[in-house]
Structure 1
């Protein structure tokens, strides 16, 4: 999309089709899990799932891959009946105020300049997004959520790296949740 053309994306409006909650695996950070636990009262083991490599289309070198005793996986929102665990019957997110930062950023992919200004925006193609063009998205909001996601992801990636470098101790999914400060028992 040409430099001028991306500005039209600032008129994006979500129509609530729910496709992004059906067609994507939403990776979680420990901050996402903590926010969801606090907002819903549900333990991590109820909504977090560890997806193995064969179930996720993600770069093999991504720093969200967690090494367990038997294989690698990423921590993501659990699915139920082919959609996100938290997608309601009305196609609305039932944890909207507590949703993962990745969901807050979607469907935008934003690039910032060296000065921190929004330089480029394009829509993700991870899911077929049935949007309208009568909304209002600010550059400030795009920049804020992108930076939030970057900070949160970097902190989580550092924890995953430390976990992956451990030579001793149980390398199970429940142990990983405990390592992050949550109760265990997740698949």
Structure 2
């Protein structure tokens, strides 16, 4: 028997029913001292957060991104999208990231954490790379949020290519940007909880 499990492919995932997403009524934009303090108070009530960032894409060879421009943190019920051009949002967001008392789970966080160190001057604490948890369960490739949702829930996570490559440095985000950013962090929180609730199945070694 194989010692690894296959990650579902793009064609397999395309056949699955759609994974539900957070609507705008459960997404908070953090762009001021008041909204930042409200976000901190709400997030600190929960031990585990979903975590992601967004940076303005670069299209010219040699161009260096000055991101992240957006920080997303989420619980199982809500998500907060911090606009990092706002001083209070940036400072309180950085404090949350450095707080070792709360876990921050996400996918492909290596680049995110490197940029956070450079821009925000803090070392993210309590970070959980969900790809590592899936690898420990026998999945040979990086899972990503789409693969994780397919494996755990048998559903298809929708990601807008247009939103993904949009300008995250804009001082005002569109509704589609807010929904895209918030749901990346929220899905990570949901996946992390599912992994905690489901014991890893043993993997049989090759005979």
Mark yes or no: TM-score above 0.5. no
TM range (shorter): under 0.3
The TM-score, its normalising length taken from structure 2, stands at 0.25
The TM-score, its normalising length taken from structure 1, stands at 0.27
Structure having the higher helix fraction is 2
